[in-house]
Amino acid sequence: MDARIRKSELSGRVVAPPSKSYTQRAVVCALIADGKTEIVNPSRSEDALFALRAARMLGARVTDFDDRFSISGGRIEVPEDVVDCGGSATALRFFTAVSSHADGATVLTGDDQLRRRPMGDLLKAMNSLGAKCFSTKSNGFPPVVVMGGGMEGGTAAIPGDVSSQFISSLLVSSTLARNDTAIRLSSALESKNYIDMTMEILHKFGAKVAFDPGRGEFSVPSRQILHPLSYHVEGDFSSAAFMLAAGILCGKVLVDGIQLPSLQGDSAAIEILQRMGAKISCSGNTVTAETSVLRGIEIDARQIPDLVPILAAVASRAEGETRITGIKRLRYKESDRIATIAETAMRMGGRIETGENEMVINGVGMTKGAIIDPSNDHRIAMACSILALFSEGETIIKNAECVSKSYPSFFEDLVRMGGKVEMIK
C-alpha cells in the first residue's frame, strides 16, 4: 500500500497514540509479576502486539480487551515454537534476557530488519551473569538461542552508547537472578531516558533497582517478586512530535493525551521546536502547534535518536543551517537512518550533508514532491509524509503501511485534520 500526499492546510486535534515503549515494558514486567496485571490504554502498534505475543508464548495468560491487556504472569515457560519478535528490537532484547529464566531453551528471531540489529553486547553480558546464550550464526545478530536455567547474577560490563535496550533488558531480568547483580557501564550512557522509563516501570511493579552515576553502575537485588497492578499508558511523544511538526509547517494542530512532565526523552521535542521558533503552547494534557517561521539551530541528539528524522524534515523548512550531532547510532535502526534521511530529503529538494556522527541541513525555500522509498522505516515514512504536506506537487510514500510499527492511525489522523492523503494499492 502506498500513500499519495499533496500540499495541505491542517486544522484540528488528535489524540497522541499510547506509548509503545511504556506498553512493551509493562508487558514484560507483567509476565514476571506474580498475578494479574491490567495494562490500560495500551499501544496497538505492531511492536507492542509482538511483545504481547512473546509474553503469551513465554507463559503469560493474556486477554486482549478493547481498552486494556489483562496479563497473568509469575512463571516463565519454555515456548512451544520460535519466538518471532517481528520488527521490534525492544521485544527481542527484553524477552531474550527474560527467557534465561525458563527451564529450557528459547529461540528468538524477527524480520529481515530485526536480524540486522546487533545483539552481541547483550549476549556477552548475559553470559557474564551466568546465562547460557548465543547467536546461531556466531555473529552477534539474531536469531539467538537462550538455554534457560536461570541467571546467577554477579557483575557484567556493557557499553552505554550502543543500545539502552541492552541495559533495560538486563535490569528487568536481573530481578530474578539468584544473586545480586551489578551492571557497569563501559562507555558514556546515551538514551538515558529510556532506562529511566524502565526503572520507573520496575518501581511501579515493586522492584528495587538503582543507578549510581558516579560509579556508572546499576544495582539490582536478587530473587525479587514483582507485584501485579493496574497501569495506565501515557501518550507517546515520539509519535506526537510528527503531529506537532505538521502544525508548525501547515496549520494548527492540537495534540491531546500528552503527560507533562514526562520521563520520555522525546518530550524534548517541544523545547527543541520552540528553540527553532515554533509557536507551541501547553495546557493541561494538550499541546498546540501553529504555523511558524523557523530558524536553524544546533541539536545534540545523543539522548533523542528517534526524533532525528522529523527534526531533519522540519529543518529543511527552517532559515539557515541546522546541525544535528550525536547520531552515529542511527545507522543501526530500522534502516541506516543517516543515509536514508539524506537520500529522501534530497529527493524532496532538501540540502543535507552527513558525516560519521552529524548531519547539517540547510533550509530551502520550498521542498518538492517525490517518490519516496522509506526502506520500510516507519519514522522515515512519517517524516517524509509531514514534509510532503508542505511541498509543491505530489509525493508518493511507498510501502506506507510500515507506519503501523509505531503509529497505526497516522494517515487517518492527518486526513481527519484536512490532510490530502490517499491510500493507493
Query: Which residues have a catalytic role annotated?
Result: 306
Handedness of CA 200, 202, 203, 208 (dihedral sign): negative
Triad 335, 21, 162: Cα angle to 5°: 50
From 423, 78, 10, select the one nearest 246 (Cα to Cα).
10
360, 345 contact by CB (below 8 A): no
What's the first-to-final CA gap in the chain, in angstroms? 5
Distance CA 176, CA 1 (A): 44
From 200, 199, 207, select the one nearest 228 (Cα to Cα).
207
Scored b (16 or more CB within 10 A) or e, 161-183 reads bbbbbbbbbbbbbbbbbeeebbb
Distance CA 78, CA 347 (A): 48
- Tell me the DSSP string of 321-383: EEEEE--GGGGGSSS-HHHHHHHHHHHTT-EEEE-SSEEEEE--S--B--EE--TT-HHHHHH
DSSP lists the bridge partners of residue 188 as none
Scored b (16 or more CB within 10 A) or e, 73-88 reads bbebbebeeebbbbbb
Residue 51's Cβ-side half-sphere holds a number of Cα atoms within 13 Å equal to: 31
